[in-house]
Chains A and B, each alone.
Chain A
Amino acid sequence: MTSKQTSGIGRRTILGALAAGTMLTPFGFGAAHAAEIEGELVMINWLAGAQGEMMEALQADFVEKNPEITFRNIVPTSSGDTRGGIRTVLLGGEQADLLINTWPAFRQELLDAGMILPVDEAWEENNWSDLLADSWKDLSTIDGKNYGVTYTFGDRSGIWYNTGTMEKSGITPPETWDDFIAGFAKMNEVGITPVSIPAKIWAHAEWFESTLLRVAGADFMSKLARHEVPWTSPEVVTTFEKLAEMLKADCCLDPNTMLASIWRDSADTTIKTGETGYMLIGMWLNTRAKQEYQLEPGKDFDIFQFPAMGMGYDNQSMVDAKEFNVLSSVKNIDAANAFMGYMLTADAAAIMADYGLASPSSAVDPSIYDPVIQRAVNEVVSAEKVHFVLGDLLPGDLVHEYRIQIQKFLQDPSDETIAAAVQKIEDVANSAY
């Protein structure tokens, strides 16, 4: 059975929850903590690098508070789209309690396969509604049942830059698309490549998606994600044309260099060395910049929101989120619920904040965040509408074709390529749903 899920998140409830942050107490954790929990908690945990270290720190803190608990992490082996590795683990018969998930489309797939359980009962028992806005619940609700507990979220429309490169170029963060394009000449003059687009695997689609949000808005993106509108729609074509403006204004290195680089390369040249001006990626860059580059958020690097295009959707943002799903193979449901409750506490949020990530929990005093997270949270909160990352909502073979076609467009941003690209994506979409 296939059923529909939501991909948009209401702004008001996020705002309400975050605004109430310092006034609420972590009832959820209190309730879970009171229960006797013991034994092994098995988690399918694919987080790597600094995010992996963050999860280790969270687990260690949880174990310190619950000494009878031990963790066993099952780490799927994969690169690129981690869902392949997770599927292999699940079909291979691994028995786990919790899964970290960041793909709404994958949640649906897991549900269709009978591999996840609803969390409504635990949600009510532990009063998680006091800590998590209804929007987060709505995000992981399918056919009236909730299947996930969100523990972090990020602003995916934030453009990252090194403050030094802006000073060197003599420009300030642009607010409009025209200013954004106009700044390229100044950056090029001082030897800075304005934009870094890592197009080897998936990260180049970030630029397409944030541009599409400005051109057509969140509602259109939701329809596109469900294939209720075709990829040949004028809005998609206009999005490509806007990106072509950027490419023709000497934004980037040659296409082959883009196609040879991954997001970490862009992070190095944009945030660490300042050879390139801007990049677009998720909040995990904050984690990398703080933990691996030892840079200070807000001082050494910062973000600004994707520039306005004046097409009616300038106050919208792209977001991502990570959640826990309870697997149907769960053996230690009490510990699983307790850990999900813990992840909504101020203690967990403090650990995540140290690593540069934001918690959606209202138990968090936003002042604990560094300036970059604060800015990202404010942008999401003040957005008129937010939309989940498009690529994470598309079926696997469609998302692959979509990324390939954007690669082709980067090589040749002509009208002919655009027409061929949208038609090809549409053809694959017709067989993918």
Chain B
Amino acid sequence: MADVTATSVDGSKGPPIGAMRLPRQLSQSKAAYILLAPLLVFFGVSVIYPVIETIRLSFFEIKGLAPAKAVGLGNYFKLLSDENFLRALRVTFVWSFSATLFSVMIGWALAMACALKPRETMVFRVLIFAAYGVSEAVVGFIWLGIYRPDYGLVNGILGGLGLENMQQAWLGNPDTALTAVIVAYVWTQVGLPLMTCFASIQSIPRTYFEAAYIDGAKPMSMMRHIVMPLSLPGVRVAIFINLLQSLKAFDLIYMLTGGGPVRSTETVGFFMFRESMLNFKLGYGAASTVVLLVAVLIVSTPLIAQRTRAVK
């Protein structure tokens, strides 16, 4: 959901749109809890229980279909000395940082460009956002074709430009595979920042532009001093969502590289999948899941807290 909190140029804060508080009488009444109860029960069954079960599993050694054996914190200690897990952590950091940075930057830039001609760029925005809604498995299939070493689009373009020496197996080279997957992933993710930033820009009152125009501001100056700062709430939301999305990304990596070559694209999410579902060491895989969960909480808690403060 786009954050369209409006802080006016004179510094006064109005109530953020979408963050209107309920009347005090309702929010403090028992009715509020009764209304929330079904949702809380559903949330408990579908989210809290699996999390608790995963944490419980992480204290067991489970190999294949064999019975579980309690190992306490053994799986966590093992993770800390597992070079493959530590590599997966590094890959996850590079992956999440790069994917979020580029998708938000591109989305934001496109949003500002589209804001110049909102009506004329509507179809373009819809098409970009459509990629966000396409299954990553389908995207993976498309990009497998784009990156094919023999007749893939990328190598075809390079050949057409006379850059044959740059043609290569993009997904088979450990030095380029992660970048190649990030590019494909960014392609799928740009749509969301585009929409949130565009919504932020659209919520900027026209009067600011009129005042700037009267004062003789040039378009680029208005972009820099009005559009960019006032679209930041949309950027923040986009960073938040894209970062969380990237931390749990799996499908596209699975489709394009399967975590390879030589584990160069193995994120913590993929490590978890391999240990749990391929090697079927469920306890060990669960421990890595818990680590990923903690990482997600570390990332999301400050952002959620910041949004909560903004609402209050």
Give 1 or 0 for each of B249-260: 1 = CB within 8 Å of chain A CB: 000001001101
A258 CA to B168 CA in the complex, in Å?
Answer: 11
Residues of A within 8 A of B66 (CB): 109, 112-113
Q: A91-B65, A112-B66, A201-B258 are in contact. Are A400 and B169 (CB under 8 A)?
A: no
A253 CA to B275 CA in the complex, in Å?
Answer: 31
Task: Of the listed stretches B112-120, B238-246, B276-284, name the one at the interface; the rest are far from the partner chain.
Answer: B276-284
Q: Does B230 contact A (CB under 8 A)?
A: no
Considering only residues 44-59 of chain B, those with a C-beta below 8 Å from chain A are none
Give 1 or 0 for each of A85-107: 1 = CB within 8 Å of chain B CB: 10110110000000000000000
From residue B53, how far is it (CB to closest CB) to chain A in Å?
A: 13
A201 CA to B65 CA in the complex, in Å?
Answer: 23
Q: What is the interface of chain A, defined by CB distance below 8 A to chain B?
A: 78-81, 83-85, 87-88, 90-91, 109-110, 112-113, 115, 199-201, 253-261, 396-397, 400, 404, 407-408, 411
| Contact of B274 with A400 in the complex, beta carbons under 8 Å | yes
From residue A118, how far is it (CB to closest CB) to chain B in Å?
A: 17
A115 CA to B280 CA in the complex, in Å?
Answer: 16
Nearest A residue (CB) for B147:
A260
| Contact of A259 with B261 in the complex, beta carbons under 8 Å | yes
A260 CB contact (under 8 Å) in B254, B261, B280, B281 = B261
Residues of A within 8 A of B192 (CB): none
From residue A82, how far is it (CB to closest CB) to chain B in Å?
A: 10
The B contact surface, by secondary structure, is: loop
Q: Does B32 contact A (CB under 8 A)?
A: no
Nearest B residue (CB) for A113:
B65
Q: Does B156 contact A (CB under 8 A)?
A: no
A396 CA to B282 CA in the complex, in Å?
Answer: 13
Q: A260-B149, A396-B64 are in contact. Are A84 and B280 (CB under 8 A)?
A: yes
The A contact surface, by secondary structure, is: helix
| Contact of A257 with B65 in the complex, beta carbons under 8 Å | no
Q: Does B306 contact A (CB under 8 A)?
A: no
7 smallest A-B Cβ distances: which pairs?
A: A260-B172, A113-B65, A259-B172, A259-B261, A256-B172, A256-B169, A260-B169
| Contact of A87 with B65 in the complex, beta carbons under 8 Å | yes
A397 CA to B63 CA in the complex, in Å?
Answer: 10
Nearest A residue (CB) for B263:
A404
| Contact of B173 with A113 in the complex, beta carbons under 8 Å | no
| Contact of B280 with A257 in the complex, beta carbons under 8 Å | no
Residues of B within 8 A of A407 (CB): 260-262
| Contact of B173 with A256 in the complex, beta carbons under 8 Å | yes
From residue B65, how far is it (CB to closest CB) to chain A in Å?
A: 3
From residue A414, how far is it (CB to closest CB) to chain B in Å?
A: 15
Residues of B within 8 A of A199 (CB): 261
Nearest B residue (CB) for A2:
B66
Residues of A within 8 A of B257 (CB): 200
Q: Does B128 contact A (CB under 8 A)?
A: no
